[in-house]
Homo-oligomer: A and B are copies of this chain.
């Protein structure tokens, strides 16, 4: 772990009058003893966005505690909350302002692909919101999000084995231990919640609402949150740029005949095509 405070934070902490600020000591010395001094505004505010500017050059996230926190937070508020609160909480603890000024519960809406709608995986969405919070370069930011979603499509989940099984995790019938978890893994081939969950549950013979599905998604949430930490670290250690993995070969073939520039059947998409459009994978056109 690197120095947790930026130069702006350090100035604020040292109590220097800077940029229109006064110190707590100065306030305590005035004649208004009967009132509590107001919180002194030091360091960046929520509006000083994006927040990369407030991180020291050597700041890095630690993916290990982020994964464990994400796994447990899944049981407190779902997949989007798990990833979002674990990453934001880690940033708040290790980097301070403005991360510690934000509500940790903002991601609870995203569970089950946004309010259970089965759209974008909530863990991915939670991670995307944190990437968005930090990265200032629009091209790099978009490539990091694309890379996260492509990685998700092809990665075999779940991988994470928690240090301690959560107290809320009861009733599972599958073996999620370090020795058994590999037998449960599936690559979702889609970043959409309902496709990801349905495929895994069918392959493992379990319902989409049961304890095994939750245990899978809690560990997937940890995997995604850890990957986001790694993607951010790669960016922070680099030159301000980021390259995304290319689209899969089958989908690249699709886009060969369906480019966005077509006027008859354009497709503007970066995701895998044939996972959903199974009827287009053979005997097409």
Interface residues of A (CB under 8 A from B): 17, 20-22, 26-27, 29-32, 35-41, 45-47, 49, 101-103, 105-106, 108-109, 112-120, 125, 128-129, 131-133, 138, 141-143, 145-146, 149, 191-194, 197-198, 201-202, 205-209, 258, 260-271, 276-279
- Taking the closest CB of chain B, its distance from the CB of A267, in whole angstroms, is 5
Flag if B261 contacts A207 (CB, 8 Å).
yes
Once A268-B116, A276-B276 are accepted as A-B contacts, the answer to whether A209 and B260 lie under 8 Å apart by CB is: yes
Q: Is the CB of B128 within 8 A of A271?
A: no
Cα(A17)–Cα(B145), bound, Å: 46
| New A-B contacts (4) at CB < 8 Å, excluding given A115-B145, A118-B268 | A26-B30, A46-B102, A108-B132, A116-B268
**Contact call A142/B109, Cβ cutoff below 8 A:** yes
Whether the Cβ atoms of A207 and B260 lie closer than 8 Å is yes
Given A46-B46, A102-B47, residue A279 in contact with residue B276 (CB < 8 A)? no
Which of B27, B41, B120 is A30 in contact with, Cβ under 8 Å? B27
- Distance A278 CA – B146 CA, assembled complex (angstroms): 26
Best-surrounded residue of A133, A145, A269 (most CB of chain B within 10 A): A269
- Minimal Cβ-Cβ distance residue in B for A266: B208
Verify B109–A141 contact, CB threshold 8 A.
yes
The smallest beta-carbon distance between A168 and chain B, in angstroms, is 17
Which chain B residue shows the least CB distance to A25?
A: B32
Chain B residues closer than 8 Å to A106, beta-carbon distance: 49, 132-133
**Interchain CA distance A193-B266 in the complex, whole Å:** 13
Least Cβ distance of A63 to chain B in Å?
Answer: 22
- CB neighbours of A277 from chain B (8 A): 276, 278
Q: Which B-chain residue is minimally distant from A150 (CB atoms)?
A: B117
**Closest residue on chain B to residue A23 by CB atoms:** B35
**Closest Cβ of chain B: how far from A212's Cβ, in Å?**
10
A32 lies within 8 A of B26 (CB)? yes
